[in-house]
Structure 1
């Protein structure tokens, strides 16, 4: 794990540094490949996102959901019935992924489709009565995931972390908007 010694200088800790903590770090992280040495923050984001999604998946499976499905449900609980196209936009997803997600949620009995009263071509996706018990479980899982992710951080560190993550997100959103063809993948 790299440590910042002085402004801009990154070094590896020596074997005598934090002996008890180094072993835990080695099992919790992946070595940074030399090719990625020009982007240690990007590599850390990649690793963090992968681990967060893996843990979220483990916790969500216990309540019968896969990662991403809980976010769709959160929007439906919060906003009420939505057209699938609106869910795609809200989730910054693609149509095929949303179709699969809604189909699986429908098969599980958590959502249903009904015709849109204003657009004959569209149907609305709405949460079912059965999904209301699921809502409490999703809230519990997200609280648990938050507690695990921020364990050992003070309130000030949590606030600073959130502000930093929001800034990184703003940077990436801006870069994506300025990059020609950035949506071509979707």
Structure 2
């Protein structure tokens, strides 16, 4: 590898034969790193901000709604909400209409943190699209939606590859 090839290659996970997947992973990791820095500076811990922003928009909701919205397993969401309760950002209480359900509500501290979380996400968005024209932003969004939809589509059996044993 020449020095110019080495200097133009991005440092990070790079899988031979998967240049798009590698670039997506590198972009996702950079996005997560910058987002975590911005949220930490705003006094919010990821993924707490996602819960706060959802509650700010929807008000108190059943915990199962947050499980669905976050697309995480129940135990992971429960652990997140327990940490948020310990931090004084949310409360959970039994549903008055369903004894099996818990209602998640934002506290005053959570309501105060939500605008800071929103501002951090807006700053992250600006950094993410820096250097892209309006048309490029729209095209990137279109392409990312296509990739997301392709990955969420039911899997079809890939063509069998011969793997040396």
Task: Please give the range of the TM-score, normalised by the shorter of the 2 chains.
Answer: 0.7 to 0.9
Q: 1:68-107 alignment to 2 at 5 Å?
A: 68-107=47-86
Residues 117/58 of structure 1: CA separation in 2 closer, same or farther (3 Å cut): same
8 A contact 2:13–2:26 mirrored in 1: no
Q: 1:32 Cα deviation (Å)? A: 6.0
1:156 aligns with 2:135: yes
Match of 2:108 in 1: 129
8 A contact 1:116–1:123 mirrored in 2: yes
8 A contact 2:94–2:101 mirrored in 1: yes
Moved over 3 A (4+): 12-15, 177-180
Q: Which of 114, 117, 123 is 2:96 aligned to?
A: 117
Q: 1:89 Cα deviation (Å)? A: 1.1
Match of 1:169 in 2: 148
- Higher relative contact order (Cα pairs below 8 Å, separated by 6+ residues): 2
Residues 13/144 of structure 1: CA separation in 2 closer, same or farther (3 Å cut): farther
Q: 1:13 Cα deviation (Å)? A: 9.9
Match of 2:155 in 1: 178
Q: 1:77 Cα deviation (Å)? A: 1.5
Equivalent residue pairs, number = 157
8 A contact 1:32–1:40 mirrored in 2: no
TM-score (normalizing by structure 1): 0.75
Alignment partners' CA distance in 2, 1:70 and 1:131 = 9
8 A contact 1:82–1:124 mirrored in 2: yes
Q: CA RMSD in A?
A: 2.4
For structure 2, the 5+ residue unaligned runs are 158-165
TM-score (normalizing by structure 2): 0.84
Alignment partners' CA distance in 1, 2:19 and 2:44 = 32
